[in-house]
Amino acid sequence: MSRHENKVTKEMTIADVLRQNPKNVQVFMRYGMHCLGCATATGETIAQAAVVHGIELDVLLTELNKN
């Protein structure tokens, strides 16, 4: 599978991202997103989480796609 196929997108949930690459827990923690196991993580998209946490979406996506 190519790296492009594993790209994190704004439509993915936090849980999707962590299933795809557990190393991204470090990115979420760095941005103060500590509720990774809660119900919100399974339904909230990366775009929604960025808004709630006051994080610039493009910056977050770049960080998540580095791992």
The predicted pLDDT at position 24 comes to 93
Amino acid found at 45: T
> Which tens digits make up the pLDDT trace of 41-59?
778 899 998 998 999 999 9
**What is the residue extent of each domain of the chain?**
16-64
Task: Go through 45-63 and write b for each residue having 16 or more CB atoms within 10 A of its CB, e for each that does not.
Answer: bbebbbeeeebeeeebbeb
| Residues of the chain below pLDDT 70 | 1-5, 37, 39
CB 19 within 8 A of CB 25: no
